[in-house]
Amino acid sequence: MGLLICLVVLAVAGAVATAGFVAMMPYRLSYEKGVLYERVSWIRLCFVALGAVCGFGVIRLGTRKWERRLGYVCVWVMGAALLFGSPSGPHSIVSVKNFCINNLRQIDGAKEQWALERGKERGAEVNEMELRPYLKEGRIPRCPEGGAYIIGRVDEVPRCRVAGHTVF
């Protein structure tokens, strides 16, 4: 019986912790953070299911009145969490294609800024190492589908090797 009560407490703590983590995430998520959000949401649902099953076990095996009440409360709380805590939530996950296009726009903006600061003209070759200071985290972003980015010259739009991932 003690093990079941410990599992109930663990399940409630896990459900509350993961719900708090999900609630702290911003409304719009990048693709990578969206994947993390979905995984945490499903882990939260696993905690909820564990809590409900253990709550039923406490109700069934509880010999004292407070144990059975704890089981009922746990089942009710976990049932409410299951009904009102959907795994998709209110967050908006940017699609993979849009994520890649946003990366291409960042690269294009970095190219333009580099060209303005260095006084480069149209058709000038751009080196990836020269662009790094103008990009977030000092590195060229990656396509979420594994495509390679073609930076191109100053007057060219950057491209991705994945079909359909184009800026214009």
SS3 160: strand
Domain that holds residue 47: 2-93
Q: Are 32 and 100 in a shared domain?
A: no
Confidence of residue 155 (pLDDT cuts 50, 70, 90): confident
Q: What's the token pair of residue 37?
A: 């959000």
Task: Round to the nearest angstrom and report the end-to-end CA distance of the chain.
Answer: 64
pLDDT tens readout for residues 137-150: 888 888 888 888 98
Q: Are 70 and 107 in a shared domain?
A: no
Average pLDDT over residues 32-54: 76
Q: Are 62 and 118 in a shared domain?
A: no
Q: Are 60 and 110 in a shared domain?
A: no
Q: Are 10 and 64 in a shared domain?
A: yes
Q: Are 9 and 73 in a shared domain?
A: yes
Q: Are 13 and 51 in a shared domain?
A: yes
**Which residues does 44 contact at the CB level (< 8 Å), separation at least 6?**
14, 15, 18, 19, 22, 85, 87
Let me know if residue 167 belongs to a domain.
Answer: no
Residue in 50, 53, 58 with CA at minimum distance from that of residue 18? 50
pLDDT tens readout for residues 87-106: 555 555 567 778 888 889 99
Q: Are 89 and 155 in a shared domain?
A: no
**In the prediction, which pLDDT does 110 show?**
92
Q: Are 61 and 30 in a shared domain?
A: yes
Last residue of a domain, one of 76, 93, 110: 93
Let me know if residue 29 belongs to a domain.
Answer: yes
Q: Which residue has the higher pLDDT, 78 or 121?
A: 121
Question: Whole-model pTM above 0.85?
Answer: no
Q: Are 66 and 39 in a shared domain?
A: yes
Residue 36 predicted with pLDDT over 70: yes
Let me know if residue 111 belongs to a domain.
Answer: yes
| 125 close to 155: Cβ distance less than 8 angstroms | no
> Based on C-alpha coordinates, what's the Rg of the chain?
25
Q: Are 65 and 81 in a shared domain?
A: yes
pLDDT tens readout for residues 51-93: 777 777 777 777 788 877 877 877 777 777 766 655 555 555 5
Last residue of a domain, one of 93, 110, 139: 93
Confidence of residue 113 (pLDDT cuts 50, 70, 90): very high
Q: Are 155 and 87 in a shared domain?
A: no
Q: Please state, in angstroms and as integers, the Cα–Cα distance from residue 138 to each residue in 30, 98, 131, 144, following that order.
A: 18, 21, 8, 18
Last residue of a domain, one of 65, 93, 121: 93
Let me know if residue 7 belongs to a domain.
Answer: yes
Number of domains in the chain: 2
Let me know if residue 56 belongs to a domain.
Answer: yes
